[in-house]
Homo-oligomer: A and B are copies of this chain.
Amino acid sequence: MADLTALALICSLTPTPEPSSSELLARHVLDALQNQGTVTASLRVVDHNVMPGVRIDMGDGDAWPGIRDRILAADILVLATPIWMGHPCSLAQRVIERLDADLSETDDAGRPVMYGKVAIVAVVGNEDGAHKVNADMQQALNDVGFTIPAQGGTYWVGEAMHTVNYNDLDSVPEKVAATTAGAARNAAHLARTLSAAPYPAP
């Protein structure tokens, strides 16, 4: 029986319904989370009008407050992003910027609102950059209060200067599948554990 919920924010530059490698890897993470008793959902950030800024609500037409509510309702956040020029995609950085406002939001016990939630990162690219993108995103999510489970990232990139995409592969390489499964297993365990034993108040 599922007792956890996970939300994947897919930061592909390409709107639905175009194919997306970061969506595919996010789905693989979510499938693995379902195997761990998690109800999952996802959205592509580019399909929504997430306005530039660092307030919780940037006003008329801003889609972020609705997305933020879904993050607040979830136990696990999966941030899935392509790599462009070696960096997290602009939409992943946009998500991070919008989460910045929550650095100063606290619950009734005085804890940052994202405390107790677990985040994992899923990164895809043609050729290089996964560790760096993972580092950038894990640090930012951790700063805002998410806990990062052991080996809390999964990724695929091709050989240097190649142009194959994750969704061009005939099958997921075994090590990548094991890494995805491990990140999901650890995330679910940690979310369950932190739910039973929340971080103490300051």
Contacts and interface: CB of A to CB of B under 8 A. Distances in A.
Interface of A: 13-14, 46, 52-54, 84-91, 93-94, 96-97, 99-100, 112, 114-116, 127-132, 134-136, 138-140, 142-153, 155-162, 173, 175-176, 178-179, 181-182, 185-186, 189-190, 193-194, 196-197, 199-200, 202
A173 B159 CA distance: 10
A148 to B, nearest CB: 4
User: Which residue of A128, A186, A193 has the most chain B CB atoms within 10 A of its CB atom?
Assistant: A128
16 contacts: A13-B53, A46-B52, A85-B100, A85-B139, A85-B143, A86-B139, A89-B93, A90-B93, A128-B130, A129-B129, A143-B153, A145-B151, A148-B152, A156-B160, A161-B173, A189-B197
Contacts of A46: 52
A84 B139 contact: no
Secondary structure of the A contact surface, majority rule = mixed
